[in-house]
Copies of this chain bind each other. A is one copy, B any other.
């Protein structure tokens, strides 16, 4: 009996597995979470999982690739904005919201740890990281060219500073149980605003 594969159904199933795996990895870590648990949570058999992902590492790679695609889509939309200063601030606001999301922050740390251990995951994570930085730099450069922020601020250095701030939020969440990124968001956004010196508001 031939098995017919509906591509849309296959993609939807694959995505459902990714979502379930993200939650499992965030809560238990990549190495502590077993594929059996992922299968149970996704309601499929271990044999069926193999049709979607040949290994746990393939699931991890899919998660990292998907993050990259989501970042690209985010910046595609942001670049269409009229006020690129507002788009930069919107990005920072979202990044600090994500740092405050326990599951997202845990998953980010798991990816960083796995990137240090596994060169393939490392390359994927490094590409995401470089892409994000480049896209943020592009927004800052556009904002400066349009006279929306201080044109004297080199976009590359400004992008580095703002990503340092975001990285710092994720890093503090991991090491300091009393740190609440949501409570620091106002001050962090003020810091960014004063740094960028938007020309049309103050």
Contacts and interface: CB of A to CB of B under 8 A. Distances in A.
Given A175-B129, A194-B194, A194-B197, A188 B161 contact: yes
Specify how many copies of this chain sit in the oligomer: 2
B160 A187 contact: yes
A171 interface: yes
A199 B197 CA distance: 17
A195 interface: yes
A165 interface: yes
B165 A172 contact: no
Nearest to A189: B161
Contacts of A165: 161, 164-165, 168
A167 interface: yes
A12 interface: no
